[in-house]
Structure 1
């Protein structure tokens, strides 16, 4: 963008200079046009060099910040999630590299990631809504209790939770788990890899960056309801995303605008940074203790992270 902008400025200057030359011809301002071009070219060169220097410095500082945070926080999350089993659920179009980084941070904190469940966009397609409700009714098990005021997507979240999650520690997958995963997979609503042997007690949901053009925040209502259902069927949930996801058109923005959801679901909007990945760990610890918080750098109600004292105590 910088190169192009200055290139345009130079071209405009040349046209002005040429116009002046045509009008003045060999008159008293002869030579002015070439000098204008030369002066503008020199200013462009200096501005471009400064912009490049600023960009290099900013990139270097970003790398320094991330490296510093990674080194300083190394060890702070050690064993914070020991003995905990965690399932990762990715929203449609969630970034694979981001998901891998989140998984690494969880495993470095001592957790076992039991499975990764990828949600298909078909699940939240308004045109497919008529498929979801009968499927929920078909896959419900006798040990699932739906809240009286729950809706279809909250129930769908609970259904998925029953297959890969549990509120208790160390519960294996069973026949009902297999039945539910088969039903959801056969309907092309989710894909699961690997098929879990054990059900996790905590869940991290990885949000995607907002699409272009930006959707209305209300378009995520079903997604937020689904995540609430995951929380209801587990010991705790954290939604992880990038700063873009916490701005208009993003899932975290919609989640944080739902007062009922934020009472039970936590979120971190800097999951692409080492500090954010550590915050995901601390937020899961907090969730396991029955608390929720909204953390990060974009309209995060509870600040950058759970307090150091809280994290230490847990």
Structure 2
């Protein structure tokens, strides 16, 4: 009987509590609970609207800034690269729009774009280390002086020589770089003459883009890949005046990696922004005169913009 009474009292207590909750919810507490929920929804909606307005204002400010930078460039860029010819080199995952923006500013500065080539993942594929080593030994025989025993530096030197030298050796170097079923270089627009300088356009970032690609070699870490590109571009810069325009948001972004390595290569960060495109002709002129620099807004930059010739 004690157990039965105990369970009976427990059940009565439970149902009594439920009944009280229903009565209070439908009566005295109904308005306060409803009002609290409505207030929260209204507050969230207002925050969302405020955030949207702020985003729109920020986007408008960025567009206005870029328009101002581009307009100002029309005043001080003309003549900076008069008579100079530049070859454009596109790294994997770099965007065509960024290359087009740089090309437009080179032309504004009086320069000419002689051609465009794209680099393939073979430069950084860890599974192709042995291939690059063997191939670099073959290319070395066509270089006037081998700048390094590092395979990627030799290959990069070969690229710089192939784009800026008119020798028979240079033509052979380009043939070698574009040969095989998995070439190091593909020609997008055949160079219409020799270049005086080279602009390398890197990707905007190495994060999710690289991870989402099916053709990225899983054995190569982002740091290993970045190191391969540092060596290659250092080799290119040893053979010709070279400016690398890319990202420096993460340590493995090409510009950040070049700066961390203190590579003797001129860099511009914030690729994709008007400031980077406008800075490129100025950086080319400065580099051609023998002054290497790092320009932009991110870590490692020496100045926001390269020096403007007087």
Change (3 A) 1:104 1:22: farther
2:68 aligned residue:
68
The gaps in structure 1 that reach 5 residues or longer are 1-20, 167-172
Change (3 A) 1:62 1:23: farther
1:6 aligned residue:
none
Q: For each residue in 1:51-81, what CA deviation from the matched residue of structure 2 results, as whole angstroms up to 9, or x when unmatched?
A: 1211121111111111122212322111211
CA contact (8 A) 2:74 2:108 kept: no
Report which of the two structures shows the higher radius of gyration computed on alpha carbons.
Answer: 2
Residue 254 in structure 1 maps to residue 247 in structure 2 = no
Cα distance in 2 for partners of 1:298, 1:204 equals 19
User: Which residues of 2 match residues 107-146 of structure 1 at below 5 A?
Assistant: 107-146=107-146
Q: For each residue in 1:140-181, what CA deviation from the matched residue of structure 2 results, as whole angstroms up to 9, or x when unmatched?
A: 34552013x541111111111221124xxxxxx454333222
Cα distance in 2 for partners of 1:197, 1:69 equals 30
Cα distance in 1 for partners of 2:277, 2:122 equals 29
1:210 aligned residue:
206
Deviates more, 1:179-188 or 1:119-128: 179-188
Change (3 A) 1:32 1:252: same
Aligned length, in residue pairs: 278
Cα distance in 1 for partners of 2:23, 2:104 equals 68
2:79 aligned residue:
79
Cα distance in 1 for partners of 2:243, 2:39 equals 56
2:309 aligned residue:
312
Cα distance in 2 for partners of 1:22, 1:189 equals 74
Cα distance in 2 for partners of 1:202, 1:163 equals 12
| SS state at 2:252 partner | coil
Q: CA RMSD in A?
A: 2.2
Cα distance in 1 for partners of 2:105, 2:145 equals 33
| SS state at 2:284 partner | helix
Residue 222 in structure 1 maps to residue 222 in structure 2 = no
Deviates more, 1:103-112 or 1:32-41: 32-41
Cα distance in 2 for partners of 1:217, 1:296 equals 22
Deviates more, 1:277-286 or 1:194-203: 194-203
Q: For each residue in 1:101-129, what CA deviation from the matched residue of structure 2 results, as whole angstroms up to 9, or x when unmatched?
A: 11111122111111111010122111111
The gaps in structure 2 that reach 5 residues or longer are 1-20, 212-220
2:243 aligned residue:
238
**Cα displacement (A) at 1:41:** 2.1
CA contact (8 A) 2:87 2:191 kept: no
CA contact (8 A) 1:241 1:268 kept: yes
Cα distance in 2 for partners of 1:96, 1:190 equals 16
Residue 48 in structure 1 maps to residue 43 in structure 2 = no
| SS state at 1:75 partner | helix
| SS state at 1:74 partner | helix
